[in-house]
Structure 1
Amino acid sequence: MEIVNCISTGYERLVSIFLKGKLVVCTVESYDKYLKEGCIDSSLIGVFKEPVNFRLKYAFINDKEFSNGFFQPIENSPSTILTGKVKFSENNEKVVISNDFLGELIIEFENSVCVKDNSLISIRGELQLEIQ
């Protein structure tokens, strides 16, 4: 995975990454240093070999649009629609799913939801990258 661009929004960074031949936009939280909004954070640009995790924050069940795996409908935005199989539910607001493009990721819902293990769901939220 390669981070090709990183712009600060304060403590959060909006990053563009190259993953499996596709440009993907997500956020990265960075509490170690505050950068003025709009500044480029060159410390995060480059190739990452460390383990990374993806998380979908502020998510909700997306019953109006059904994506074929992974889709970012707004250019230069971490807004993401994805489809995945529920691996297990930690509670009514957090589940772990498996997605063909991103692999296993945590979904944090805005409100309590009831989903069954092994069910296929479509969700929409903000994609976040977690660098270990």
Structure 2
Amino acid sequence: MDAVNLSKQHPEQYKLLAGLDASVAASLSAADLDPLLVELVKIRVSQLNGCAFCLRMHTRDAIAKGETTDRLALVAAWWESQYFSEQERAALALAEEVTQLPVPERRSWENGSLTAEQVSAISWLAIVMNSWNRLAIRSHYPVAP
């Protein structure tokens, strides 16, 4: 059997995920998180999950919002560079922790640069991005030049 496009097979579930995504976006805005930080988290979660569809989409979104190619090139190794602020580093570490669910818990993101509201909003962002990645990968969304 060819790949099944989950969003077309069950559009109601897709709409519910889109609604959750919109709710998380509102939480990110209410938590006063920079839109570029949000895109970096989406990109990093998509890298970890190997989701080409989401990587292309969010890289383009980040560029449109003013992100630099240098920083985009280094997201995969953010801890090795000085390109990212303390808050961005904390957000990326938190998103990795949510995505990879390490044992024992790392908690390297706890550097004081994120409020409780921001920790919650970024955690929900990573949860939703993991869902979008799995939807796109499982549905084999096309990613052609």
Provide TM-score, normalisation by structure 2. 0.23
Higher helix share: 2
Higher strand share: 1
